[in-house]
Structure 1
């Protein structure tokens, strides 16, 4: 019934926290949320239509115990894999929407995630719609090895075709967005937004420091630091995201010819 904020220590009644879109009313800390919650908080009520909801991957490398991990994640989240895709309206503006889910194996990207996002991009091209992708990921899924790494090029290739079609691509980076997802489609948006204090990066701090033999600045992989260095266009609190996305989508509306 209660949740303690890990940032300020405030104890929050769960119902109040959910009504506040899982943002601490005391300090503004953004709790991690599911892909379904993301869609409910952002997309106009009653407009979201999911597609490719049953796409799921296998175990291409016969990795020990992987099938059990997948089954556990599917039972826990109710999802086929770590992303939800569909069409909907944001502030009345139609778009294709992808929401990754960090509660499914930390949002890691395997063949199913790459396939679903690629199909979503292709659907945007087909319907002549912009696409919005909410990212949260620990990176490429190690249990699928090279198959998971191939998804970086696969999704990026689809986004290149979207760009050639003159369609808008917006990414919203949430906590955490790391690894191969950061190194591919997360940072390819025409407009890149981020939630406050989101962890964004490729390798971990200790890995980088041991490689470059330097001490890195505090918070160098947080959204605010990336905004300062030009990697992110804007930091938008969760409550303001629907309005911010609606404004951007309305500015980039284009006539659809038959």
Structure 2
């Protein structure tokens, strides 16, 4: 994930530094952050890779423990503690894998470019509106707050991806399923969005601060997130219990 950020800093930010001549003010910190960079390809690549990167973490350890048989040697109370620790560590690791690189990118943006609040005149090329950006009212008043909120928002989805992959890995007892399932789901939803945009919303678009497609309502995103999170946690608990009874 840091590779994408470093590419963005090198190829996206640094070429804009010479434009800081004291006259032009369209290159500012918030517009140079990866989320609001008009070169949306960086964040798109970041989101797709995120669904893979989160599984290169402790999220797959329970699948390996079940496959190896180590799970069977744990006492019932130890299994409970193990599951709680696994759920917590998996979510936090997924969150950090998403949030830390985005934070690094934001730090570079604020170090290299002036911290000026954007306005409709000088930043006319940034089409920020409630239909394509959540919390869009902060863009022209509190851009730093908006960036932090999106970092947390994307990080939360990183944690969700990790738990989803872990649940499917436990259910199938296959590490490869755990590794690729979040990516396959994101890819399938993205394809589905292009075919049925009125019914399906891809995480690639939902997590983009400058979404190329109209966004679903925020409350529907939170409801869907909550249901999916409960299903992922429940799936891990149920599948691990089922594996014990085999």
Q: Which has the larger radius of gyration?
A: 2
Relative to total residues, which structure has the larger helix share, 1 or 2? 2
| TM, length-normalised to structure 2 | 0.28
Tell me which protein shows more strand as a share of its residues: 1
Higher relative contact order (CA 8 A, sep 6+): 2
